[in-house]
């Protein structure tokens, strides 16, 4: 196992981003940049031994700064924070005070605001252990950055081991009562982009979801059995697509309020033989099938577009700040936020 470091590109202000390439003994390769903590590439073999990238991403920093990409920004591979998913109308009330957050997704606040953790430069520290290699990314988010209260110190550690597991550990501490909901926004395409993801199959260890109205929870938790949202057995995304004009963008309940590390679900694609198993300590998983991913022209070639990747975002429920009976996203100064998610890559 080893870690290699290379220059990834420069921001307009001259700061240089790095690309860290993690390789395990079986040849699984994960590439991560400290700009936005973005997973840019995951190279794994198919059932014939052909190794290809199964994550939506780019080979250079310039492409992540491209205006065509930013105009329909799909958050490829990034760390999401301070608050993943939506907060209704950007209204945040904490400790009797109101904090008007950016409204950047219709009438709502999404994924930490206009310049969330996905667009920040993180400090990076290489990790080399007998059982894993990786990087520890850290970032200090000052009080009222994107209007959130409290100085927040965040770390995100990516570890790759010889079990073909990519382990993501998040921690955060604050000096003032605040909210935190961190996740990763990698989009998977197990055909390596040869086809869209509609014939991928998903099985979730969930039989409930947050009922949604215009992408915001109503507060009700509803069953999914015998509905288009039933993934209790493996099912293709295309099966019920005629009932869902823009595909899936929904939060599934994992019955994990105690924060144990559980198996949340498995994504698979038969023609490649590739599987991704998802484990998490989080109470929910947001399934997004990428309806709004933009089609881009890169080096004269059309890439991505609608349904080109699927995101499996382990997190707390959307708009938890307005639903006291949801698992809490509040963080006290005396507490440490800790969550873990694991993506395990298997070729049948």
Is 263 annotated in the active site?
no
Look-up of token digits 């009080």: 143
185 in catalytic set: yes
**Catalytic residue from among 109, 185, 200, 316:** 185
Q: Please check whether residue 320 is in contact with residue 302, taking contact to mean a CB–CB distance below 8 angstroms.
A: no
Q: For residues 79 and 182, is the Cβ–Cβ distance under 8 A? A: yes
Quote the tokens at residue 287: 């399934």
Active-site positions read 185, 313
């Amino acid at each position: 196992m080893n870690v290699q470091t290379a220059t990834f590109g420069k921001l307009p202000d001259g700061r240089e981003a790095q690309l860290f390439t993690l390789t395990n003994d079986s040849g699984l390769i994960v590439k991560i940049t400290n700009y936005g903590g973005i997973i840019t590439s995951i190279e794994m073999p198919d059932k014939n031994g052909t190794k290809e990238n199964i994550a939506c991403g780019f080979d250079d920093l310039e492409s992540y700064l491209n205006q065509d990409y930013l105009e329909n920004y799909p958050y490829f591979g990034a760390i999401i924070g301070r608050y993943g998913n939506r907060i209704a109308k950007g209204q945040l009330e904490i400790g009797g005070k109101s904090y008007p957050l950016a409204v950047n997704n219709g009438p709502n606040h999404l994924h930490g605001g206009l310049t969330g953790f996905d667009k920040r430069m993180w400090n990076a520290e290489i990790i080399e252990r007998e059982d894993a290699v990786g990087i520890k990314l850290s970032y200090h988010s000052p009080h009222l950055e994107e209007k959130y209260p409290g100085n927040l110190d965040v770390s995100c550690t990516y570890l790759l081991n010889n079990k073909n597991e990519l382990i993501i550990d998040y921690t955060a501490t604050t000096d003032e009562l605040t909210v935190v909901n961190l996740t990763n926004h990698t989009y998977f395409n197990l055909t390596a982009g040869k086809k869209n993801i509609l014939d991928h199959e998903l099985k979730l260890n969930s039989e409930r979801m947050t009922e949604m109205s215009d992408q915001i929870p109503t507060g009700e938790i509803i069953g999914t059995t015998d509905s288009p949202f039933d993934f209790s057995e493996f099912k293709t995304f295309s099966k019920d697509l005629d009932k869902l004009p823009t595909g899936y963008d929904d939060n599934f309940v994992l019955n994990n309020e105690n924060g144990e590390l559980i198996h949340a679900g498995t994504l698979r694609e038969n023609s490649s033989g590739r599987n991704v198993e998802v484990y998490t300590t989080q109470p929910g998983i947001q399934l997004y099938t990428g309806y709004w991913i933009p089609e881009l022209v890169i080096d004269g070639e059309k890439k991505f577009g609608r349904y080109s990747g699927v995101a499996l975002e382990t997190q707390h429920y959307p708009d938890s700040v307005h639903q006291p009976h949801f698992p809490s996203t509040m963080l006290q100064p005396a507490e440490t936020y800790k969550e873990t998610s694991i993506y395990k890559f298997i070729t049948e």
